[in-house]
Amino acid sequence: MAIPKLTPLPPAPSQDDTEEVFVSRADASLTAQQGMVGEINQMLDALNPVLPEIQNASANASAAAKSAKAAQDAQAAAEAAAGNPIRLGLLHAVALCF
């Protein structure tokens, strides 16, 4: 099921409008806002079934970002410790903790 889109709202009234234009735009805007409630409810009904997929994708993206950051940190630590056996041993010990 495709997620329905909201109907764009008409131009909002402005204090620079003439009284007649202001009233006309205000009426149109309020009428559109009342109709928007039904459209938003339809959109939420369409989103509810896919919400677990969205949450899962978000969790996977977060885990991938953490993994990439850990890999980047490990590479930086390995480059900093290159050629120093004491630091290399410490790096190895830290890696075994994970």
Number of other CB atoms surrounding residue 80 within 10 Å: 11
Phi and psi at residue 32, in whole multiples of 5°? -65, -40
**Contact predicate 8/33, CB 8 Å:** no
Using a cut of 0.75, tell me whether the model's pTM lies above it.
no
Greater model confidence, 98 or 75:
75
pLDDT tens sequence across 9-48: 999 999 999 999 999 999 999 999 999 999 999 999 988 8
Q: Which of 63, 71, 69 is nearest to 95 (CA)?
A: 71
Nearest to 48 by CA among 95, 3, 92, 94: 3
Q: What is the pLDDT of residues 50-80, one digit of tens each?
A: 888 888 888 888 888 888 888 888 887 777 7
